[in-house]
Structure 1
Amino acid sequence: MLTTLQAGAHAESLATRVLLDRGYRIVERNYRIKAGELDVVARDGDILVFVEVRSRADGNHGEASEMVHRGKRRQVSRVAAHYLEARQPQFEECRFDVVAITGDRVELFQDAWRL
């Protein structure tokens, strides 16, 4: 049985592979500040993408995608704003994607929300 930390790391690795397969370029993983963390920062063409990864072992208690509620979106958005100020990356626009992993099913939700 995986610990919560191990399961999270496994989910982020799986999400990274899915993003790479779809043509994303990974810029950074696990950007952390006191207010929270960005799981993956990537580029999709000229778009800077902040990717939130959520996982559930199975769908018995809901889908992984349901775990990205308004409070979580707000927290990730705050950390992304800090990232933009600290790193000052060059990009045309930015968006937030979600990779939701429920059991063996992996779903990518592009443009889940914007700043």
Structure 2
Amino acid sequence: MFAWLKRFWRRPPAAHSTGERGALGERLAREHLRKMGLRILATNWRNPRDRRGEIDLVALDGQVLVFVEVKTRAAGALVAGHHAVDARKKRALLCAARAYLRGLDEPPRSVRFDVVEVALPESRHGVDGEQRDGPIRGPSASPPLSPALRHFKNLPLFPKGFLPRSR
């Protein structure tokens, strides 16, 4: 009887692994930012001295240098992507952002921190943004489901009065 019950509680397999979903989310966020007029300078940037901290995307919005954290979630996730950037993650991002700024020849006039939340639609086979054979389709005749993107600009990451400094 236990085996019979397990069939009902087992989650369906996800179409992609967590890493693949994250890469898909970052690709969608990169395309979104380009459409918004931002120029992408770096993707998945890591400090050469401390490989723990990673900045998902570094972009330029006019003269503003933008550090972007991408959070990919299921459409029905309980915690929104921008809420998932907790104090520990902010400290790591701030450390990585400072390292990135130290490596620049000329510091930007200003910097900001954005979060792009990518909500992938749910399918019968798990959470996914696309399947190997095309976009996700809902019940029989419904149109394909597409990921939803939310862009949160200028979230508090940097201390008040923070200015990028040259070396």
State the Cα deviation string for residues 33-64 of structure 1 (Å, max 9, x = none): 32310000000000000000001122233222
Task: Measure the CA separation in 1 of the matches of 2:156 and 2:42.
Answer: 20
Q: Between Structure 1 and Structure 2, whose CA radius of gyration is higher?
A: 2
State the Cα deviation string for residues 57-110 of structure 1 (Å, max 9, x = none): 222332222211121111111100011112345421001011011232210011
Task: Measure the CA separation in 2 of the matches of 1:53 and 1:20.
Answer: 14
Q: 2:66 aligns with which of 22, 25, 49?
A: 49
**How many matched pairs?**
115
Identity of aligned residues (%): 35
Q: Does residue 32 of the first structure (1) align with residue 71 of the second (2)?
A: no
Structure 1 unmatched ranges of 5 or more: none
Task: Measure the CA separation in 2 of the matches of 1:35 and 1:78.
Answer: 10
- TM-score between both structures, scaled by the size of structure 2: 0.64
* Corresponding residue SS for 1:74: helix
Q: Which amino acid aligns with 1:58?
A: A
Name the structure 2 match of 1:69.
Answer: 86
Give the CA RMSD over aligned residues.
1.4
For the 8 Å contact 1:26–1:42, the answer to whether it is kept is yes
For the 8 Å contact 1:94–1:114, the answer to whether it is kept is no
* Corresponding residue SS for 1:111: coil
Name the structure 2 match of 1:109.
Answer: 152
